[in-house]
Amino acid sequence: MTGLGRSGVASFLLVVCLLSVPALAVQPDEILKDPALEARARTISAGLRCLVCQNQSIDDSDATVARDLRILIREQLMKNQTDEQVVSFVVERYGDYVLLKPRLTAKTVILWFTPFLVVLLGGFYLLRGRKTEAPVHDQLSDAEKAELDAILRK
């Protein structure tokens, strides 16, 4: 392959990469005809975690489970459920883990406040440590000077 051929292939691959459009997670067959309901479904989906993906919303995920949850949300909205009812329904089935932003409850209070507690305890420990340090004497007493002279003479 000549130099021109290689650069042509490289240019072609670059154009293909730049023009390729990433697959949309929400498939066209999932989209609701009512734009208001679809907007609500997207808002709810953006706040729910994909059960098989690492910290990705079901709105962004291509996983089959995420697709099933998106369809479930749209079915619930078609039954005239409120956003809160839909989220509660999903949380009842899959637990609080499905929420991308966990609620502040008795179960999650430790998760929310532990970082602040660690910082406060660390600051307290550092301040307490400074106060208990013994003062450093730069000068030697006469006895220490004599002992040092004796050691250095050996």
Write the pLDDT tens digit of every residue in 23-33.
445 655 667 67
On whether the pTM is more than 0.75, the answer is no
Residue 11 located in a structural domain: no
pLDDT in the model for residue 86:
95
Please tell me what DSSP assigns to residue 104.
-
Nearest to 40 by CA among 70, 66, 61: 70
Going from the C-alpha of 134 to that of each of 130, 131, 137, 141, the distances in angstroms are 9, 8, 9, 17
Residue 6 located in a structural domain: no
**How close are the terminal C-alpha atoms of the chain, in Å?**
82
Domain at 80, CATH number: 1.10.8.640
Residue 64 belongs to domain spanning: 18-98
Q: Say if CB 59 and CB 17 are below 8 A apart.
A: no
Nearest to 53 by CA among 43, 39, 40, 67: 67
| Number of domains, the chain | 2
User: How many CB atoms sit inside 10 A of residue 112's CB?
Assistant: 12
Residue 110 located in a structural domain: yes
Q: Say if CB 87 and CB 44 are below 8 A apart.
A: yes
Write the pLDDT tens digit of every residue in 87-106.
999 999 998 889 988 888 88
Residue 72 has pLDDT above 70, yes or no: yes
Could you tell me if 74 and 110 lie in one domain? Answer: no
Residue 83 located in a structural domain: yes
Could you tell me if 115 and 84 lie in one domain? Answer: no
Please tell me what DSSP assigns to residue 55.
S
Q: Please give the distance of CA 149 from its chain centroid, rounded to a whole number.
A: 63
pLDDT in the model for residue 122:
92
Could you tell me if 116 and 59 lie in one domain? Answer: no
Could you tell me if 23 and 51 lie in one domain? Answer: yes
Q: CA torsion 88→92→95→96, rounded to 10°?
A: 20
Instruction: Give me the helices (H) in 83-108, please.
Output: 83-94
Could you tell me if 56 and 73 lie in one domain? Answer: yes
